[in-house]
Structure 1
Amino acid sequence: MFDWIQNIANWLVYDILKMEAKNHLAEALNFFIYDTTKILMLLFVVIFLMGIVNSYFPIDKVKNYLSRHKLYGLEYLFASLFGVVTPFCSCSSVPLFIGFVRGGIPLGVTFAFLITSPLVNEVAIGLFVGLFGVKITILYILSGVLLGTISGFILQKLNLEHLLTPWVKEVLANAQREQDKFLKEKQPFIRRLPIIWNEVLKILKGIIPYVIVGIAIGGLMHGYIPEGFFEQYMSKEHLFAVPVATILAIPMYSNASGILPIVQVLVAKGIPLGTAIAFMMGVVGLSLPEAMLLKKVMSIKLIGIFFGVVTLCIILSGYVFNLIL
């Protein structure tokens, strides 16, 4: 879908700037141009669509329903399953996170989506089947959905809403005021568009600097960290290989389709599959660029709690994979 963006990035870096294909700076710059263009396009489309949804979304009704009805954890499972069918990386999932919060969805349910969306999607599933077979693919899908469900449940029980940034709280307040105005005046869609558009621009203005910085960090890591750099720390002889692999993955940045070929190489070199998958989950689901984006919507403390809970769940799933495979 985004091949034309990659072609433009290649043209700019290799044809216009005359940089060599294997040059670290060229690879970092190519990655930056491609990911910045793709993610900004996704940001615009997603925020605009979520703006339309939120203008009609019955915030109070959703809040009342979720507070009055016990769903016995199914809401976290549904959010995780929704993450499976949305093909977003960790950075482009953040606008949907904002839209969920604006819509009155509980924070833990929103986290469940944010965790699962970059980990499990149709591209990752297709690659997994081709590289590791159907059995391991099914186990991976189940582990990704359970990871999002369990992490979201834990994070909800911690009552972390007060750790959202003032910017998000202002967005929430504006969303409620705007919807009250829409409902009171029963404005047709054409009259809602200017208000929705202004809100889109406001949100974009608030998060674009974080997107640029985050992708720049990811580009430098993509261009300068060699693929085999971490292999020595993930061999099966090390008892703590799984947590080490997960923690060492955090500075890296890639989507599932980009990291899966590396996982295949790691497994071929004798690294246990569970350790390699934990490394993949750490790269895809926990990254410094994602943390930079989340800084706009979460306090440092909340980001730390979020990363800590997800890291713990990834480590546990890695050990489980190593035991059953």
Structure 2
Amino acid sequence: MEIFQWLNDQLLRMDWLAALVRMLVEDGLGLDMASRVGASVHFFIYDVIKIFILLSVLIFAISWVQSYFPPERTRRILGGLQGFRANVMGALLGTVTPFCSCSSIPLFIGFTGSGLPLAVTFSFLISSPLVDLASVILLASIFNWSIAIAYVLIGIVLAVLGGTLIGRARMERHVAEFVRNAPQLDIEQAQPTRRERLAFCAEQVGEIIQRVWLYILIGVGIGAAIHNWIPAELIGALLGEDRWWSVPLAALVGVPMYADIFGTLPIAEALVAKGVGLGTALAFMMAVTALSLPSLIMLRKVVAPPLLALFFAIVLVGIVLIGYLFNSFAYLFI
């Protein structure tokens, strides 16, 4: 157990990095760690470096797994399943796609156009940005393994139930005709060589880093400001655990934003440190990643307003319920 804790502290929390950054701030920059400026600089440098290291390693590993599941193979796997099992598989396959909500939509279009049920494709669309495997490691590095595992499991449950409810609504007519009638080429793809897989993984790392680096810097910057500059009393008055409106407010505030989980985690970390309920912080994070305004605008191009409204309502209600659940049982995880 002690060995596991040591590995967790050194590999995930990177205590060694925190110590090095402390030396840089105090000895190199001459700042007092007890001051707001020193603590903010330490928070920013440490979190940015840690997230980029973990992100690069995780995306490389996830991309290696993903190289065995190209879209055509994924479609065939899902097409061979029916009912609840297909929804579960759609949600699980969403966890091995390191995509934001916007980049998940082209795959959603391809799956829907190939004839997969809406229940399956929406389960994939919900889980892909919400609970990718990288979120497990990143959540564990900032909070702990109990929170990380619980978050992912509940996220998958939301994806399965959300997809199931949308499927039961029988709203196929609200999918754009060009999606439903999209031509599909069933071409058998040759298995890539190890060198090709390595090149694919490296390309994915570069592509995703290029796409999210700004959001990470913004997210860490906001987290540093919340952690060291905004009074806990003010945050507690708005989003305190005893405020019934804190969870829906956090979820609604997150909707207009656009970021990956990598950029929202430092904000959630700072909010929890200031006394905000765990469920409230996670509700904000989930709303940003699963219901970002740009992704809703893109989704509107392929589905009619009734289906878009149903998707939004189901996911938003699910996020709020999950937030209340985590707030009620936070003592089990912290």
2:103 paired residue among 86, 89, 92: 92
Cα 1:168–1:271 shift into 2, 3 Å: same
Structure 2 CA distance, aligned partners of 1:293 and 1:189? 29
* TM-score normalised per structure 1: 0.63
The answer (yes or no) to whether the contact 1:90–1:285 under 8 Å persists in 2 is: yes
Structure 1 CA distance, aligned partners of 2:157 and 2:136? 16
Structure 2 CA distance, aligned partners of 1:122 and 1:306? 23
Is 2:281 the partner of 1:270?
no
Is 2:291 the partner of 1:280?
no
Output one character per residue of 1:287-317: Cα deviation in whole Å (capped at 9) or x when no partner: 1100111122111221111111100111111
Q: Give runs of aligned pairs for residues 189-228 of structure 1, distance below 5 A.
A: none
Output one character per residue of 1:130-182: Cα deviation in whole Å (capped at 9) or x when no partner: 111111111111111111011111111111111112332342xx33xx66xx9
Output one character per residue of 1:49-69: Cα deviation in whole Å (capped at 9) or x when no partner: 64x669xx779x94xx66xx6
1:153 paired residue among 159, 164, 188: 164
2:94 paired residue among 68, 83, 100: 83
* TM-score normalised per structure 2: 0.61
1:141 paired residue among 133, 144, 152: 152
Structure 2 CA distance, aligned partners of 1:58 and 1:276? 37
- CA shift for structure 1 position 240: 1.7
Cα 1:262–1:189 shift into 2, 3 Å: closer
Q: 3-state DSSP class of the match of 1:88?
A: coil
> Which runs of 5 or more structure 1 residues have no equivalent in the other structure?
1-41, 183-187, 191-214
Q: Which residue of 2 aligns with 1:321?
A: 326
Q: 3-state DSSP class of the match of 2:103?
A: coil
User: Bigger shift: 256-265 or 232-241?
Assistant: 232-241
Is 2:304 the partner of 1:293?
no
Q: Which residue of 2 aligns with 1:310?
A: 315
Output one character per residue of 1:163-218: Cα deviation in whole Å (capped at 9) or x when no partner: 112332342xx33xx66xx9xxxxx989xxxxxxxxxxxxxxxxxxxxxxxx9xx9
Total equivalences in the alignment: 230
Cα 1:320–1:58 shift into 2, 3 Å: closer
Structure 2 CA distance, aligned partners of 1:254 and 1:58? 31
Q: Which residue of 2 aligns with 1:245?
A: 250
Output one character per residue of 1:80-117: Cα deviation in whole Å (capped at 9) or x when no partner: 11111111110111111012112221001110111011
Cα 1:90–1:84 shift into 2, 3 Å: same
Q: 3-state DSSP class of the match of 1:104?
A: coil
Relative contact order (alpha carbons < 8 A, sep ≥ 6): 1 or 2 greater? 1
Q: Which residue of 2 aligns with 1:233?
A: 238
Output one character per residue of 1:4-36: Cα deviation in whole Å (capped at 9) or x when no partner: xxxxxxxxxxxxxxxxxxxxxxxxxxxxxxxxx
The answer (yes or no) to whether the contact 1:245–1:279 under 8 Å persists in 2 is: yes
Cα 1:240–1:125 shift into 2, 3 Å: same
Cα 1:74–1:287 shift into 2, 3 Å: same
The answer (yes or no) to whether the contact 2:115–2:180 under 8 Å persists in 1 is: no
Counterpart AA for 1:290:
S
Is 2:142 the partner of 1:127?
no
2:173 paired residue among 159, 162, 172: 162
Structure 2 CA distance, aligned partners of 1:74 and 1:315? 26
Cα 1:314–1:189 shift into 2, 3 Å: closer
The answer (yes or no) to whether the contact 1:129–1:137 under 8 Å persists in 2 is: yes
Cα 1:257–1:189 shift into 2, 3 Å: closer
Structure 1 CA distance, aligned partners of 2:248 and 2:76? 42
1:105 paired residue among 95, 98, 116: 116
Q: 3-state DSSP class of the match of 1:270?
A: coil
- CA shift for structure 1 position 125: 1.3
Q: 3-state DSSP class of the match of 1:93?
A: helix
